[in-house]
Structure 1
Amino acid sequence: MTRHPLTWLYVPGDRPHVVAKALAAGADVVVIDLEDAVAPDRKERARAATAELLDEPQPVPVHVRVNALDGPWAAADLAALAGRPGLSGLRLPKVTGPEQVRQVAVATPVPLYALLESALGIEHAHAIATAHPALRGISLGEADLRADLGVRADAGLDWPRSRVVVAARAAGLAPPPQSVHPDIRDLDGLAASCARGRALGFLGRAAIHPRQLPVIERAYLPTPAEIEHAETITTAAAADQGAQALPDGRFIDAAVVAMARRTLSLAYGG
C-alpha cells in the first residue's frame, strides 16, 4: 500500500538542474513552480523547460504550480502542459471561487489542487473544495494570505487554517498539507510549527529545501507510542465492537477506533 504524501517540495521551473536534484531528494511530490519563484522575464523559459521534462514519466509524482489564473501567463502554462505523461497534478494559485476550478478542469483533464491565498478564497473554501471531481485537494498560501489580511502574529492565521481543514474534510478531500516554513535554517522552528499543524488537522507540509523534508516527515508520522496505542485500540475493538474501557481505564468508542485506524493507515500505508 502507498502512504499518503507528506512532503511536497517546491522547486523553480526555470532551473532545470535544480529540478533534477529535487526529483532525487526524497520528497513524496515535487512541485515545479512557474509562479512566484520565476521572474517575469523567465516565464517562457520555465514553461518550456518544464514541458520538455514532463514529456517523459518521472520517478516521483510531479505537480506544476501554474501562474495566477487571472494573469497573462496561465493560459499558455495550461496549454503547454496539457497531456504531458510526466504531469501528475496542477496546483492552481490564488483561487477565489469555484468557477476558476471548473474552467481548468474542463480544459485540462489532470488532478487539480487549489491554493487559497486571500480572504475571498477562504470565504469560498467549501465551494472551491466541491467545485469539480478533478479537484483533489485544497491548501493555504500563507504568505499572500498574511499580506491580504494584514496579519502579523501567527495566531492570526488560526481561523483560516482551521477553515481549510474543515472545508477539505466536508468535501471528502484529503487533509490539506501545511504551507511552507520560509526559514530553511530554522529546523527547530519548523518542527514546532509542524507539531502545531498536525494538532490542527493538517497532514504533511510543503517545503522549499530538501533539508526540511526529514523534519516534516518525522513530525507527521506516528510515533512508536502512538502506533502501539492505536494497535491496542483496534485489537480491543475487534474483540468487542461496542463501547468499552481498556484495562488501563481508557474509554474507547467508534470515534476513538476511527482515529486509531487513521493512525495505523498513516504508519503503514493505505
Structure 2
Amino acid sequence: MSEPLTLLYVPGDRPDRFDKALASGADAVILDLEDAVAAPNKAAAREAAAAYLAKPRAVPIQVRVNDLTGPDVGADLAAVANARGLTGLRLPKVQSGGQVCELAARVAELTVREPELHCLIESASGVEAAHEIATAHPWVRSIGLGEADLSADLNVADEAGLVYARSRIVVAARAAGLAPPAMSAFTNVSDMDGLAVSCVRGRALGFLGRTAIHPKQLAVIAEAFRPADPEVEKARVLLSAMAGADARGSGTVVLADGRFADRAMIAAAERTVALAERFGAVPRPRV
C-alpha cells in the first residue's frame, strides 16, 4: 500500500512555497495550475512548476492541470509531462472515460514515461460515469471528488447532500481495483474541529486520506485516518486467530472477546495493520 494519506495543494504561481510544501510532512504535494491560479498567472505557474520538476524530489509530486476541455491543458502537458520530478497528473472535472483516454494519448505523444493519472470527478455526469472513468486506462491510479464544484452542480448546501456521491466514488474505486479514494479538501482552514468531524465521516464511508490546502490541516487529517492502537491490536488478534484456524482446517473462529471471525474479515484486518505499519497508530481509543 503506497497511497498517500495526506496530500498538500500548493498554488503553481507561488514557487516560494514549493520547498516549504515538501518539508511540511505531507505524503505527497500537488502543484496546482488550475483553480488556485488566476488566469493572468497561468503561464508563470506552468513555467515555475516545470522548472521545479526538472529533477526528482524526495516527496511525490503531482500536478493538477487545467480543465481538460480548456485552452491551457495542452501547454500544461507540454511543460510537465516529461519532467523527471513528476509523479502523476491530477485531472480536474473529468466527465467520461473517453476524456481520460484522450488525455493519456496526448501525454504519450510527449513522453515515454507513464505518469499516474488521478481523476477528479466534479459533476453529476462524472459521478454517474465513475466506474467508466476508473477503468478507462491503465495509468489511472485513483479517482476522487472535487466537492466544491460538485456541490454547486448538485445545488447542495452541506456534506449531507454529498453522501451518495461519496459512496458512489468509493464503490467505483473498489470495483475498479483502485485504492480507496482520498477525500476532497476541506476549505475552511480555520475550522480544525469541523475538519476532524468531516474526516471521521469520510473514513466511515470508506475514504482513506485527504487533500489539504494549508499545512496546518495535515496533522488533523493524518490523525483521523490513522488507525487507533485498539483497532490495530484487534486486527492482529484476528489475523493470528485466523492463521490458527487455517492450520486446523477451519474457516471460522470465535475470538476471546466473543467476536465471530471468518476469512471475509482478513482483508480489512490486513489493511489496518499495513496502515499502522506505514503511518503509525493513534495511541488511544477513538471517541
TM-score range, shorter chain: over 0.9
Q: Residues 38-117 of structure 1 correspond to what in structure 2 (within 5 A)?
A: 38-108=37-107, 109-117=114-122
What's the CA shift string for 1:172-218, capped at 9, x where partnerless?
A: 00100000111111111111111110000000000001111111111
Distance 1:3 1:84 in 2: 21
In structure 1, the partner of 2:187 is: 182
| Superposition deviation, residue 258 in structure 1 | 1.8
Distance 2:147 2:257 in 1: 42
Q: Residues 150-165 of structure 1 correspond to what in structure 2 (within 5 A)?
A: 150-165=155-170
SS across alignment from 1:114: strand
In structure 2, the partner of 1:254 is: 263
Distance 2:256 2:126 in 1: 48
Question: Does residue 1:140 correspond to 2:140, yes or no?
Answer: no
In structure 2, the partner of 1:12 is: 11
SS across alignment from 1:75: helix
Question: Does residue 1:203 correspond to 2:208, yes or no?
Answer: yes
Distance 1:261 1:168, change over 3 A: same
Report the TM-score when normalising by structure 1.
0.97
Distance 2:116 2:256 in 1: 46
SS across alignment from 1:106: helix
Question: Does residue 1:224 correspond to 2:229, yes or no?
Answer: yes
Count how many residue pairs are aligned between Structure 1 and Structure 2: 269
Distance 1:173 1:258 in 2: 15
> Any unmatched runs of 5+ in structure 2?
108-113, 280-287
Q: CA RMSD in A?
A: 1.1
> Any unmatched runs of 5+ in structure 1?
none
Q: Runs of 4+ in structure 1 displaced over 2 angstroms?
A: none
| Superposition deviation, residue 3 in structure 1 | 4.9
> Which of the pair has the greater relative contact order for Cα pairs under 8 Å at 6+ separation?
1
Query: Which shifted more, 167-176 or 237-246?
Result: 237-246
Distance 2:198 2:263 in 1: 30
Contact 1:9 1:207 in 2 (8 A): yes
Report the TM-score when normalising by structure 2.
0.92
Question: Does residue 1:127 correspond to 2:132, yes or no?
Answer: yes
What's the CA shift string for 1:160-181, capped at 9, x where partnerless?
A: 0000000000000010000011
